[in-house]
Amino acid sequence: MSYGRIEHHPVLGPLPPAATLSFSFDGNNYKAREGESVAAALLANGVRTLRLHEEHGSPRGIYCNIGHCMECRVTISGITGVRSCLTQVKNGMDVRSGTVLPSPFRQTTEAERSPSL
């Protein structure tokens, strides 16, 4: 459980003991430390892409990590647009990649506006 987690900081010292929790992200199972945010747990497990950009489809991940930028939006328990950097991971939590939300700037094609019957 130490892929991307700093377990011993040169100034702050070692991480204090914490319970290990299990959660899933896009169907894959991961471990987290109790008290960690979803974003920190995913980062520690090597997950960098949390969603795709609405306009370009480019990968998006953790940017500010303080809840300001909204880049880390994911779906948790069916609720879309949840900021993973502000949400503590819970045992058994089901996290999904953020969905591509409609963009007011994207031009839709006629085929997209008129579904086939």
- Confidence grade of residue 1 (pLDDT, cut at 50, 70, 90): very low
Place of tokens 């506006």: 113
Average pLDDT of the chain, as a whole number:
86
Place of tokens 């008129």: 114
d(CA 83, CA 80): 9
Q: Where are the domains of the chain?
A: 8-96
8 A C-beta contact, residue 60 and residue 49: yes
46-94 per-position pLDDT tens digit: 999 999 887 778 888 888 888 888 889 999 999 988 999 999 999 999 9
- What kind of architecture, by CATH, is found in domain 8-96? Roll (3.10)
